[in-house]
Structure 1
Amino acid sequence: MNSNNLWRAIAILITITLFFFLAPTPGFSATPQERIDGAIRLIKKMAEQEDSPRMADLVKDAKGIAIFPSVIKAGLIIGGQRGEGLFLKKDPSKNKWYGPNFVNITGLSYGLQIGAQSIGLVLVVINEDGLRGFMGDNVKLSGDLSVAAGPLGRHTEAGTDSRLEASIYSYSIAKGLFAGLSVEGAVIDVDENANIAYWGANMSPKNILSRPATDVRIKPLLREISNLEKKAKSN
């Protein structure tokens, strides 16, 4: 086998591996409660970071927040990422939350990469365009919606605030520190099985996100989000 055919075979093998890696496997999916518990730990960990006040500013005025406790990123030249999480809609004028709608994130990436790691990811939705994207069955980040890395730093000046340049800002954390994770091109899909398990019925995202988040199972997560918001610089 010549070198071109060898690399082609390797690329095919990697693609097949990533297909199985990214494909949802019901028997190994996290339960709704496991996702909520993971989201609580992630938000608490992010709130402990020195740069958290800047993130808290965005969350305080957000239209919604998607939380993925563990996004597994793996690759060898061709990479992939997959995570399970949930989305909560917010009415910032009333400080009222709705949902949760359970979702999955998947994506492919290309370039020099090798290895695997688990990263916690939070997507902060800051305008109506971003919110509308999460009201359907799926949304492609940077395809349907503009997404950018969230601003960090306690001393970010209001005059340089870039929040109007994107509909969604992403924050990720790995090994206890804020970290980079590209989500451009990633797709977020509704997890119908998880929603049925939580809500007891198959409902549309629009229906789910019209329901106040008052269930006892979601309240601990809302408390952690509230603790994060208290760190906002505008308080």
Structure 2
Amino acid sequence: MSLKPLRIAALLSTLLVAACSTTAFTTASPTSDAAARVQLEQEARMALKSLYANSTGAKQLGANAAGVLVFPSIVKGGLLIGGEGGKGVLFSGDGRVLGYYSVGSVSWGLQAGAQNFSEAMILMTPDAIRNLNTADGWAVGVGPSVVVADSGMARDITTTTAQSDIYAFIYGQSGLMAGLGVQGQKITRLSN
């Protein structure tokens, strides 16, 4: 069996992961950085508003949360090896901006395609926010318990049945990503 097709797939996947990377290779001026953060905050507020309009369970959880981390646009793509990346905003329970974050992951397995989606992580306790801010790159699946809620499950979640530290909602998907993969997200606070 020739390894050439596998090498080509790995090279293409590596290029795709690099294209999805949220790391900028240019130095931005403080004004353009501030403008980008204002735009990111507006997009995150619109994405959260969209989630709450379509999920009463998410809206109820958000009303009682210590904070909500919103990634308005995460780009995911891959061919055998894949990656995803995006930037987001952490809002306090009363809507103040607490910080800016990036998310990224690498996955491998039977997968092909590309998609864009939004993700909101509803942090129910101050400890969940503290863990997010004190960890050197917070990996989903390590640390506090995370429940990934789909739209059907979200209808059944209420403030009396909520028992997890964090509820993650993935919504607004566009594009096509097929297959099975193994991955874990890493969330990192961006410097102010």
Interval of TM-score (by shorter of Structure 1 and Structure 2): 0.7 to 0.9
- Summarize the Cα distance change of 1:23–1:32 in structure 2 as closer, same or farther, 3 Å threshold: closer
Aligned-residue offset at 1:23: 4.8
Could you say which residue in structure 1 is the equivalent of 2:105? Answer: 107
Indicate whether 1:76 and 2:79 are aligned: yes
Indicate whether 1:59 and 2:58 are aligned: no
Q: What pairs with 1:121-200 in structure 2 (closer than 5 Å)? A: 121-136=119-134, 137-150=136-149, 152-153=151-152, 156=156, 161=161, 163-164=162-163, 166-175=164-173, 185-192=184-191, 195=192
Could you say which residue in structure 2 is the equivalent of 1:120? Answer: 118
Structure 1 contact 125–169 (Cα < 8 Å) conserved: yes
Q: TM-score, normalised by structure 1?
A: 0.64
- Summarize the Cα distance change of 1:129–1:104 in structure 2 as closer, same or farther, 3 Å threshold: same
3-state SS in 1 of match to 2:143: coil
Structure 1 contact 142–184 (Cα < 8 Å) conserved: no
Superposed CA offset, 1:32-77 (max 9, x none): 111111112212222332xx11111211111111011100111111
**What one-letter code is carried by the residue in structure 1 that aligns with 2:38?**
Q
RMSD: 3.1
Indicate whether 1:15 and 2:14 are aligned: yes
Q: What pairs with 1:91-102 in structure 2 (closer than 5 Å)? A: 96-102=94-100
**What one-letter code is carried by the residue in structure 1 that aligns with 2:71?**
F
Indicate whether 1:86 and 2:89 are aligned: yes
Q: Distance in 2 between matches of 1:4 and 1:175?
A: 34
Structure 2 contact 69–88 (Cα < 8 Å) conserved: yes
Aligned-residue offset at 1:21: 2.9
- Identical residues among aligned pairs (%): 24
- Summarize the Cα distance change of 1:157–1:88 in structure 2 as closer, same or farther, 3 Å threshold: closer
**What one-letter code is carried by the residue in structure 1 that aligns with 2:44?**
A
Would you tell me which structure has more strand in proportion to its own residues?
2
Greater C-alpha radius of gyration: 1
Structure 2: which 5+ residue stretches go unaligned? Answer: 175-180
Structure 1 contact 141–183 (Cα < 8 Å) conserved: no
3-state SS in 1 of match to 2:42: helix
Structure 1 contact 70–118 (Cα < 8 Å) conserved: yes
How many equivalent pairs are there?
178
Structure 1: which 5+ residue stretches go unaligned? Answer: 91-95, 177-181, 196-235
